[in-house]
Amino acid sequence: MASDGKRRKPGLVPNLYAITLLYFALGFVSIHFGMLALACMSIPFILLSASGKKLWCHHYCPRSSLTTRTGSKRKNWRPLPKSFTDGFLRKMMLWYFGMNLLFIAGSTIQVAMGRMSPMPYVRLFIAVPLWPLPQLLENTGPAWLLHLSYRLYSMMLSSTILGIAFSRIWRPRAWCAVCPVGTLLNKHTHP
């Protein structure tokens, strides 16, 4: 309960967007911090198994916090397109990120087996190669770890860009309507 006697509205914990910003900043310290994406993908399901509720989506998601912060500040938001609300785009996003994870796993295995060179650069939306990030620390370790770190960082960057774009075009948490993690959590919270 707040000190002025009013109850705090339930919702996102304030300022969690800083975690998202920190994640992307740490990629410039060492791309190996890109591996933290695995925690971001696992924690929602750990919370779900412990509570039976979508705590991540409703209270703890740093990306939701960021898109709430970057979202268009207007009284009358544009309605979401039908593809957001009828489940079509949700299924497409789940398929896209599933394929992305499959490509990440497959290419990382290929790098580990010495059958392909690592891709030590950011790549948006699977297909758009950009550049390597400047690194404050020397990247040591196996080539597959470098590759996997860049691929996970790239996937997180791609989805964050989409989330911010959706927040500016439609409403602050429009991304949440199609988020693959939220979609999977929905499947496990309904009877």
DSSP line for 80-148: PPHHHHSSHHHHHHHHHHHHHHHHHHHHHHHHHTTSS----S-EETTTEE--PPP-SS---S-HHHHHH
Predicted local distance difference test score (pLDDT) of residue 18: 94
Query: Rounded CA gap, 36 and 25, in Å?
Result: 12
Q: Is 132 in contact with 140 (CB distance < 8 Å)?
A: no
Banded model confidence at residue 9, pLDDT cuts 50, 70, 90: low
How distant, in Å, are the alpha carbons of 1, 2, 9, 12, 13 from that of 5? Answer: 7, 6, 12, 20, 19
For residue 125, the surrounding DSSP H or E stretch is: none
Banded model confidence at residue 7, pLDDT cuts 50, 70, 90: low
Of 20, 26, 33, whose CA–CA distance to 146 is shortest? 33
Q: Hey, what's the torsion of the CAs at 43, 92, 156, 178, to 10 degrees?
A: -60
Query: Rounded CA gap, 112 and 140, in Å?
Result: 15
Predicted local distance difference test score (pLDDT) of residue 184: 87
How many Cα atoms are found within 13 Å in the side-chain-facing hemisphere of 89?
Answer: 15
- pTM (two decimals): 0.87
The 10s digit of each residue's pLDDT in 17-60 is 999 999 999 999 999 999 999 999 999 999 998 988 888 888 99
Banded model confidence at residue 1, pLDDT cuts 50, 70, 90: very low
Q: Where do the domains of the chain lie?
A: 17-70+81-189
The SS3 of residue 87 is coil
